[in-house]
Amino acid sequence: MSVASGSEPYYTKIPEWVSECGANGMESAVYQHLAKRLNHTSKSRTVDPSRARLAADIGLKKPDDVDPYLRALEALGAIVIHARKGMRTSYELPLWPPEGWTGPLNTHAADRWQKTDPDRYAAWRAEQRAKVDAAEAPYAVKRRARVSKSVARKRSAAEPEVPVATGRHQPVVTGNHRPVTTGTNQNDPNEENSGGDGRRPPTGSEGLDGSGSAASGRTEPGVEKAKPGELRSVIEAIPRPLAELLARDWPRGLPVAVNQLIEQVLVSEQRTVEELVERMGRRWVVFGYENDLLCSFGKGIRTGLGVLEELVSASKCWGNNLDCEDGFDRRTESECPRCAEQREERLADRADRERPSGHPVPVEKPTPVPAPYVPEQRGEAVGINEEQRARAREALRQRARLPR
- DSSP letter string, 130-192: HHHHHHHHHHHHHHHHHHHHHHHHHHHHHSPPPPPP-SSSPPPP-SS--PPP-BS-TT-TT-T
Contact criterion met (CB below 8 Å) for 310 and 258: no
Give me the residues paired with residue 46 across strands.
92
Number of domains comprising the chain: 2
pLDDT at 192: 44
- Identify the domain containing residue 85 by its residue range: 16-132
Q: What is the mean pLDDT of residues 201-216?
A: 42
Please report the DSSP string for 297-355 in residue order: T----S-HHHHHHHHHSPP--TT--TTEETTEETTT-SB-HHHHHHHHHHHHHHHHHHS
In a domain, 20, yes or no: yes
Q: What is the mean pLDDT of residues 225-246?
A: 86
In a domain, 395, yes or no: no
Among 296, 314, 332, identify where a domain stops: 314
To the question of pTM greater than 0.85 for the whole model, the response is no
Among 314, 339, 367, identify where a domain stops: 314
Q: What is the pLDDT of residues 168-187, one digit of tens each?
A: 444 444 444 444 444 444 44
Are 127 and 233 found together in one domain? no
Contact criterion met (CB below 8 Å) for 53 and 60: no
Order of strands, edge to edge, in the sheet holding 80-82?
A: 46-47, 90-92, 80-82
Q: What is the mean pLDDT of residues 207-224?
A: 46
Are 232 and 126 found together in one domain? no
Residue 266: pLDDT band by 50, 70, 90 thresholds? Answer: confident
Contact criterion met (CB below 8 Å) for 269 and 314: yes
Among 106, 132, 158, identify where a domain stops: 132
Q: What is the pLDDT of residues 341-393, one digit of tens each?
A: 777 887 887 777 776 655 555 656 667 766 665 555 555 555 567 787 788 77
In a domain, 54, yes or no: yes
CATH at 116: 1.10.10.10
In a domain, 97, yes or no: yes
Q: What is the pLDDT of residues 91-135, one digit of tens each?
A: 999 999 999 899 999 999 999 999 999 999 999 999 999 999 998
CA-closest candidate to residue 204, choices 194, 219, 192, 217: 217
Q: Residue 276: is it exposed, middle or buried by C-beta count within 10 angstroms (0-12/13-18/19+)?
A: buried
In a domain, 289, yes or no: yes
